[in-house]
Amino acid sequence: TKAASDVYAPLAGKVVEVNAALKDAPEHVNQDPYGSGWLVKLTDVPAGAVEELLDAAAYRALVTK
């Protein structure tokens, strides 16, 4: 079954590229999120916004408390 849903991003910005390869291999989002599983590329992200994000280790610690 295929389904569509909204994607909520932790950043505001302008989407300039969408990973079209995920149409044929959506499993890459879970299998390789830091490589071939990227979703979108953004520009015009507010200054300092990226620095406020958690890195992978901090996020993992937060959700596994």
Residue-wise pLDDT tens digits, 11-21:
999 999 999 99
Q: Which pLDDT belongs to residue 54?
A: 94
| Nearby residues of 40 by Cβ (< 8 Å), 6 or more positions away | 7, 9, 15, 17, 18, 19
Q: Which pLDDT belongs to residue 31?
A: 96
Q: Which pLDDT belongs to residue 3?
A: 75
Q: Please state, in angstroms and rounded to a whole number, the distance separating the CA atoms of residues 14 and 11.
A: 10
Q: What pTM did the predictor assign?
A: 0.73
Q: Which pairs with CB-CB distance under 8 Å and at least 24 residues apart come from 55-61?
A: none
Q: Please state, in angstroms and rounded to a whole number, the distance separating the CA atoms of residues 6 and 14.
A: 16
Which stretches of the chain drop beneath a pLDDT of 70? Answer: 1
